[in-house]
Structure 1
Amino acid sequence: MKISKNIKYGVSFLVILVVGTYISNRLSEQTFESDRWKNWTETESEMSLRWDMMNSLRKNHELKGMTKTEIAELLGMPDSERKSSFTYNLGFSRRGINMGYLDINFNESGIVTDYKVMDT
């Protein structure tokens, strides 16, 4: 009898954990707004703002094929720039104390070839 009760509690806990994580991730998604992205400062109240905007950014803007100038107009100047890539700090990734980064890679003509979101 004890084992079946423990199994019920364990299964209930897992269901609540999965549903809670799903709801939390959906609620944290923000609509991408270029001006808010560009003017973001990492404050306690908005420490994950850019991270939360990433899904909306990916859904509504085809980054591949854009030029460096178009990316800078959309996202502002990067936090880190190399000849063939821009990196943007996304703030806390909502996975513990991990930070998120958007790394955008360009070909020799300055056209986006790919990008990745990193959680470090």
Structure 2
Amino acid sequence: MISSLTSKYKLKGMTENEIIDLLGEPAEKLTEPSRQFLYYIGSAGLGVKVNLLQLHFDEDGKVESHDIIYK
């Protein structure tokens, strides 16, 4: 799912509003240590860990990078 999302859309450089229009409201919005949006994308294995799409925004409010994290 994430690989098709990142291959179809160039997330880097998109604004916060463009991301929300594309993916909806994030599950979490973080401001420390930097501005980030977190989207839940499913569970790993037996549901013990949760996969998240983490988007990092620069000072202009545009995506500068994204990661998959396990929580």
Structures share fold, TM-score greater than 0.5: yes
Q: For 1:73 and 1:90, how far apart are their aligned partners in 2?
A: 17
Identity of aligned residues (%): 33
- Partner of residue 100 from structure 1, selected from 27, 45, 51: 51
Which has the bigger relative contact order, CA under 8 A and spacing at least 6? 2
> For 1:1-120, what aligned pairs fall within 5 Å after superposition?
53-83=1-31, 84-93=35-44, 95-97=45-47, 98-120=49-71
The unaligned stretches of length 5 or more in structure 1 are 1-52
Larger Rg: 1
Q: For 2:70 and 2:4, how far apart are their aligned partners in 1?
A: 17
TM-score of the pair, normalised by structure 2:
0.84
- In proportion to residue count, which structure has more helix? 1
Superposed structure 1 runs of 4+ greater than 3 Å apart? none
- In proportion to residue count, which structure has more strand? 2
Q: For 1:103 and 1:75, how far apart are their aligned partners in 2?
A: 12
RMSD over aligned Cα atoms: 1.2
The unaligned stretches of length 5 or more in structure 2 are none
Q: Could you say what secondary structure the match of 1:89 adopts?
A: strand
> Would you say how many aligned residue pairs link Structure 1 and Structure 2?
67
